[in-house]
């Protein structure tokens, strides 16, 4: 069960290891673009290419759908970047239902762990395979591994790193379950463990009240998607990369150009240099390229 590219890597690895995938469950098709063309999820595209049966329920609690899935007689359900499952679905397979989560649980439970670890300036994160239960990301852990977050890492590169590592850890966990050689570790969850809620539009907006490093972390944690936003002169700019600057000005707050560079200055005169920008209606560009024919 999965939808985006992150889940495709795991499905690919499972098939490479000759684990018998009898069906795939993914999100319903969506219409997008000017022509309102129907788009398949990355997981569906891959599954069809491999001639695997695909199910796309709108409602996971639908009794007809659950009977169809029960009749498949799968030993194990494997969930990667999908959605919350009802308990009635989790309880179907004999060996249980496992999930791959892109954090070192119980840290960063929730929808956007890859973004939040960078936004919060963490130095490491991880990947976890665990048994699903009715509470989100709180089930017993099967395997997990820590991962270092590089300096100036963006969410996109961390995503790819965890995607590959996760696919390997997941297949290893599956074999442990099939061979009954796994150990379950219960999660000791407390208020000290940070959460990773869904990213909303308000979070994406950079503030002149925040410190330089906090804004850089936010830019990198939201890059390449959905992108940090600076509102300037009734226009919206997406920012994808930045670095700390020693440039000090007491006259400018917010976004401005100086010496053929773009800076963002906060209210305590800390500046960051914008390295990659996207203006409304334009493509993403390096700042030097953008300034050749554009102003702020």
Q: What is the pLDDT of residue 248?
A: 79
List the domains of the chain with CATH numbers.
5-178 (3.40.50.170), 201-291 (3.10.25.10)
Q: What is the pLDDT of residue 211?
A: 96
Spatial distance between the Cα atoms of 253 and 263, rounded to a whole number of angstroms: 9
Query: Model confidence at 154, in pLDDT bands (50, 70, 90)?
Result: very high
pTM over 0.85: yes
Under 8 Å between Cβ of 92 and 61:
no
Q: What is the pLDDT of residue 245?
A: 94
Q: Nearest-CA neighbor of 65 among 5, 31, 96, 23?
A: 23
Q: What is the pLDDT of residue 32?
A: 74
Q: Could you tell me which residues come within 8 angstroms of residue 238 by beta carbon, excluding any fewer than 6 positions away? A: 227, 228, 229, 277, 278, 284
Q: What is the pLDDT of residue 76?
A: 98
């Amino acid at each position: 069960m999965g939808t985006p590219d992150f889940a495709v890597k795991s499905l690919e690895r499972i098939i490479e290891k000759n684990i018998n995938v009898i069906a795939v469950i993914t999100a319903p098709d969506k219409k997008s673009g000017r022509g309102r063309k129907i788009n398949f999820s990355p997981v569906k595209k891959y599954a069809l290419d491999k001639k695997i049966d695909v199910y796309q329920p709108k409602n996971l609690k639908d009794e007809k759908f659950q009977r169809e899935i029960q009749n498949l007689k799968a030993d194990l359900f494997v969930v990667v970047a999908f959605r919350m499952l009802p308990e009635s679905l989790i309880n179907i397979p004999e060996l249980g239902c496992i999930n791959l989560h892109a954090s070192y649980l119980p840290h960063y439970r929730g929808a956007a762990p890859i973004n939040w670890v960078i936004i919060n300036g963490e130095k490491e994160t991880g990947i976890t395979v665990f048994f699903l239960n009715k509470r989100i990301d709180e089930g017993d852990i099967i395997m997990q591994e820590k991962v270092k977050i590089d300096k100036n890492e963006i969410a996109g590169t961390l995503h790819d790193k965890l995607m590959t590592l996760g696919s390997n850890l997941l297949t290893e966990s599956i074999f442990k379950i099939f061979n009954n050689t796994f150990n379950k570790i219960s999660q000791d969850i407390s208020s000290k463990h940070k959460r990773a809620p869904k990213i909303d539009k308000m979070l994406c907006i950079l503030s002149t009240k925040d410190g330089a490093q906090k804004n850089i972390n936010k830019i990198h944690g939201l890059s390449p998607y959905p992108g940090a936003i600076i509102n300037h002169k009734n226009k919206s700019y997406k920012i994808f990369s930045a670095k700390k600057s020693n440039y000090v000005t007491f006259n400018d707050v917010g976004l401005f150009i100086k010496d053929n560079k773009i800076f963002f200055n906060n209210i305590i005169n800390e500046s960051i240099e914008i390295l990659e920008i996207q203006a409304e209606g334009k493509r993403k560009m390096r700042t030097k390229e953008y300034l050749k024919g554009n102003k702020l």
